[in-house]
Each structure stands twice: as structure tokens, then as C-alpha cells.
Amino acid sequence: LVDLIGRAESMQQVFRRGFMEYMRALRKRANHEVLHGKKTGRVYTVRTASGRRKRHVSSAPGQTHANLTGRLRRSLSFKVHGHERAEFGYGVATDQSNVAPHYAPYLEFGTRRMAARPTLQNAIAREDVDGHFMRAFDREFAP
């Protein structure tokens, strides 16, 4: 009986560790795609805070959003709830530093006048969930 209880606790640790690794990888992938992914949308000239003009390439429909101010990218966060579930999105682990901007759902899902720029969906589609849980399982039960 003690062995069964120990294995159940080990499996809970495996799931929690798997969720943590997967959420970190999702946030890292989304940040990388926002900052370094190729954007093929319109080209604008914007003014920086200092007044200088700067060239900005926006994202095309279906691409990860283009970073202009960084506010939306900084609000990307996750929360792991024990060993049962995890949340990933804009402003999930809310504190003053990462509150989601009001326009986050409009970019992620689009509007009737603008196609979606699905940052979260793209990160989830490109990240391998099984690998993170398998590595966590191997670490816990490796001989």
C-alpha cells in the first residue's frame, strides 16, 4: 500500500513537472515568434518615444502578432494548478506587471474587419506537448 501511495505521489510530480516544462516552452516559443519571426504585413513609419521615425513591419493574417510596444508580449504568462491543469494566455498570472491589454482578444481571434493574429494558437500548434511529459516521466522513474 505504501508503494502505491508513493507511486501516486510520483505521478502527481510527473504531471506537475510536465505542465511546468510545457508552459515555459510555450511562453518561450511565443516570445521568440513575436520578436524574431518573419512578418510580411504592411510596412508603417512610426514615431518612437524620442520622436525618431522608425520602420515597422506588421504581421499578416494568421501570423504571430508583430511587436510594437511589447505590452502584449509582456503579458504572456501561465499558471499551473497542482497536477491537474494549467493555464496559458495573456495576463493569466496577473499582477501589475503583466495585465493583459484590452486589445489582446481582438488580435488573437480577429474581428469582423480584421483577420486574427493568433500568437497563442500558433505557439500551441508548434510545441510538442508529449515530449515534455515524457521527459518528466523519464526523470522521475529513470533507473
Q: What is the pLDDT of residue 103?
A: 96
pLDDT at residue 11, as a whole number? 86
Question: Tens place of pLDDT for every residue, the chain, 143 residues?
Answer: 445 566 778 888 889 999 999 999 999 999 999 999 999 999 999 998 899 999 999 999 999 999 999 999 999 999 999 999 999 999 997 777 789 999 999 999 999 999 999 999 999 999 999 999 999 888 888 76
Per-residue HEC secondary structure of 80-124 comes to EECCCEEEEEECCCCCHHHCCCCCHHHHHHCCCCCCCCCHHHHHH
- Provide the whole-model pTM: 0.88
